């Protein structure tokens, strides 16, 4: 219940201005354009590059949202108020994580058509598989990201520190997502790489649980 | 203090003894030739690096559990030394890899895992740099130390599936066939022991320096 209240508050605030979401989305489109210009133009190489590129765009723009996740609580000492209120740290974590997931997945919904428009046409055919895969990737990304985002809120150079801390930890997630997306693009579907799917789901479960538990230590007051 | 000096002297002696043995009594490996001798630095460095990161993980848990500063100082010392030995492992590995695998770097599972581990703990040390000293710094560092270490099995598994070229571990063999000459194995054990002693000595030394430094800073703050 607390989680839902917090989530509603955050969604309300974010939807009113949309500035986080829009900046994240347009950043993603900009990177996509850079890749389109910088890399060879033929379909064959785009087909090879698409799975990796898709997730690089996802990570680079998703981290913008993580950077801003706790920023909103900094104003008027909202964080202190939040920590003093009778809400468990776990609820705060879940609310922030859900908020991040909602916005990053919303970005994916728009990004998948744009990606097929600008980079690799056939991706749109697999819209729902890619979105499902995005959900799994996002779960791991958001759980670790929320933990580290909360941790770096007060830290100097946090915009740099967050990716330095987060990206190496996400290597298994990235590898699994790239290989699964390759399998989807090749028409084999998610089931063809069952080991990788298990690894991805395992990563999600381990780090969702671990981050949820460890978050208490990050938010001490 | 006495123990520490003795440990230092002992590990110094061990290293000298090891070097003499490596270049005089140990036979040259038949297929790899002279370059194989770098293994007596590479393997123990890798061992010490991983041991250090594991200890950092243990001390981090210790800190979050007991909230005593000594755990934090030990975790910091372990992470710093781990970074140094991890770097030595990567560099000596590259030097050995060029004549043996004909490439300085390859995205083999263990190389990749070591590199990522190096990056994770670099982030850990940077995090410490960017937060002001105090209780928060210790808490955050401990969280990253724990998360970072727990990620290692997953990273390793994923890069093993991704691609692999490295020869299987010499010490942790599952098949009992002989992959290493007993003379070379003995030499490897000597060097691993010498490096481990060196590591323990460095850990205590670094811990002592850190304690002095924090005491000094505290006294400085009191005077101001």
Which of B115, B116, B161 to mutate to probe the A interface, most A CBs <10 Å? B161
Contact A172 B158 (CB under 8 A): yes
Q: Which of A151, A154, A195 lies nearest to residue B143, judging by beta carbons?
A: A151
For residue A127, how many other CB atoms are within 10 A of its CB? Answer: 13
Asked if B161 reaches chain A (Cβ–Cβ under 8 Å), the answer is yes
How far does B105 lie from chain A, in Å, by closest CA?
18
Binding-face residues of A in 143-172 toward B, CB within 8 A: 144, 147-148, 151-152, 154-158, 161, 164-165, 168-169, 171-172
The angle at the Cα of A154, spanning B120 to B206, to the nearest 5 degrees, equals 50
CB contact under 8 A, B147 and A147: yes
Mean pLDDT (whole number) for B45-53? 95
DSSP for A29-79, written as a single string = HHHHHHHHHHS--SHHHHHHHHHHHHHHHHHHHHHHHHHHHTGGGTGGGHH
- Mean pLDDT on A134-155: 94
Are A195 and B161 inside 8 Å of each other by CB?
yes
CA A120 to CA B88: how far, in whole Å? Answer: 42
Query: What pLDDT digit, counting tens, does each position of A29-78 carry?
Result: 999 999 999 998 888 888 899 999 999 999 999 999 998 888 888 888 88
- Find the residue in B nearest to A196 (Cα): B158
CA-based nearest residue in chain A for residue B163: A175
Query: Which residues touch B168 (CB under 8 Å, ≥6 apart)?
Result: B179
Asked whether the beta carbons of A149 and A95 are under 8 A apart, the reply is no
Tokens standing for residue B22: 């490596």
pLDDT level of residue B166 (50, 70, 90 thresholds): low
Confidence bin at B179 (pLDDT 50/70/90): low
Mean per-residue pLDDT, B179-199: 86
Model confidence at A115: pLDDT above 90: yes
User: What's the gap between Cα A69 and its chain centre?
Assistant: 12
pLDDT given for residue B207 in this prediction: 95
The whole-number average pLDDT for the span A122-150 is 94
Kindly tell me the burial class for residue A38, based on how many C-beta atoms sit within 10 Å of its own C-beta (0-12, 13-18, 19 or more): exposed
Alpha helices in B67-175 (DSSP H): 69-101, 109-130, 135-162
Q: Compare all CA atoms of chain B with the CA of A163 and give the residue at the minimum distance.
A: B123
| Closest C-alpha among A171, A176, A107 to residue A136 | A176
pLDDT at B209: 95
A26 touches chain B (CB under 8 A): no
Interface membership of B157 toward A (CB under 8 Å): yes
Distances (CA, A) of A146 to A25, A65, A125, A142, B222: 19, 10, 32, 6, 37
Gap between the Cα atoms of A113 and A125, Å rounded? 10
pLDDT of residue B173: 53
Rounded CA separation B209/A48 (Å): 52
CB A210, CB A74: distance < 8 Å:
no
Question: Is A202 within 8 Å of B130 when comparing Cβ atoms?
Answer: no
Neighbours of A166 (CB within 10 A): 21
Q: What ipTM goes with this model?
A: 0.90
- DSSP H or E run through B104: none
Which of the two residues, B181 and A92, has the higher pLDDT score?
A92
Output the DSSP codes for B35-89.
GGGGHHHHHHHHHHHHHHHHHHHHHHHHHHHH--HHHHHHHHHHHHHHHHHHHHH
CB contact under 8 A, B127 and A195: no
Nearest Cα to B108, choosing from B123, B126, B125, B90? B90
pLDDT given at position B169: 59
Task: Name the residue in chain B with its Cα closest to that of A201.
Answer: B154
Give the position of tokens 């007596």.
Answer: B40
Q: How many CB atoms lie within 10 A of CB B180?
A: 15
3-state secondary structure of B182: helix
Least confident of A111-125, B27-41, B78-92, B181-195: B27-41
Pair of tokens at residue B140: 């955050």
Q: Give residue B27's Cα distance to chain centre.
A: 27
**Mean pLDDT of all residues in B142-167:** 84
pLDDT at B213: 94
Give the minimum alpha-carbon distance from A52 to chain B in angstroms, rounded to a whole number. Answer: 14
pLDDT at B182: 78
Chain B residue with minimum CA distance to A156: B130
- Separation of alpha carbons A199 and A166, rounded Å: 18
Bigger pLDDT: A74 vs B63 = B63
């Amino acid at each position: 219940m607390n989680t839902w209240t917090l989530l509603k508050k955050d969604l309300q605030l974010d939807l009113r201005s949309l500035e986080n979401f829009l900046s994240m989305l347009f950043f993603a489109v900009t990177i996509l354009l850079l890749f389109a210009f910088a890399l060879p133009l033929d379909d064959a190489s785009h087909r090879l590059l698409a799975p990796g590129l898709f997730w690089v765009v996802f990570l680079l723009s998703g981290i913008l949202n993580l950077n801003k996740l706790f920023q909103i609580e900094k104003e008027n000492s909202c964080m202190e108020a939040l920590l003093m209120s009778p809400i468990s740290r776990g609820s705060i974590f879940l609310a922030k994580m859900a908020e991040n997931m909602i916005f990053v997945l919303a970005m994916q919904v728009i990004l998948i058509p744009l990606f097929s428009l600008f980079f690799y046409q056939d991706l749109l055919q697999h819209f729902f598989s890619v979105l499902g895969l995005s959900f799994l990737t996002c779960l791991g990304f958001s759980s670790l990201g929320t933990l580290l985002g909360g941790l770096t809120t007060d830290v100097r150079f946090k915009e740099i520190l967050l990716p330095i801390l987060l990206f190496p930890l996400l290597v298994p997630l990235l590898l699994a997502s790239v290989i699964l997306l390759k399998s989807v693009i090749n028409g084999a579907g998610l089931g063809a790489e069952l080991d990788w799917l298990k690894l991805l789901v395992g990563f999600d479960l381990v780090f969702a649980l671990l981050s949820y538990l460890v978050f208490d230590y990050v938010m001490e007051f | 203090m006495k123990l520490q000096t003795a440990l230092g002297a002992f590990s110094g002696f061990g290293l000298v003894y090891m070097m003499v043995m490596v270049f005089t009594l140990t036979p040259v490996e038949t297929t790899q030739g002279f370059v194989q001798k770098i293994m007596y630095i590479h393997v123990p460095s890798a061992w010490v690096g991983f041991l250090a990161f594991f200890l950092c993980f243990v001390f981090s848990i210790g800190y979050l559990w007991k909230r005593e500063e000594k755990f934090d100082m030990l975790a910091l010392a372990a992470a710093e030394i781990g970074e140094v030995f991890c770097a030595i492992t990567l560099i000596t590995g590259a030097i050995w890899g060029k004549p043996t695998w004909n490439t300085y770097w390859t995205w083999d599972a263990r190389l990749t895992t070591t590199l990522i581990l190096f990056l994770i703990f670099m982030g850990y040390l940077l995090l410490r740099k960017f937060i002001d000293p105090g209780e928060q710094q210790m808490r955050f560092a401990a969280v990253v130390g724990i998360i970072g270490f727990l990620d290692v099995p997953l990273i390793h598994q994923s890069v093993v599936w991704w691609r692999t070229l490295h020869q299987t571990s010499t010490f942790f063999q599952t098949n009992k066939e002989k992959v290493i000459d007993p003379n070379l194995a003995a030499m490897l054990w000597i060097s691993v022991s010498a490096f481990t002693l060196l590591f323990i000595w460095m850990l205590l030394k670094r811990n002592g320096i850190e304690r002095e430094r924090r005491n000094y800073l505290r006294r400085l703050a009191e005077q101001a």
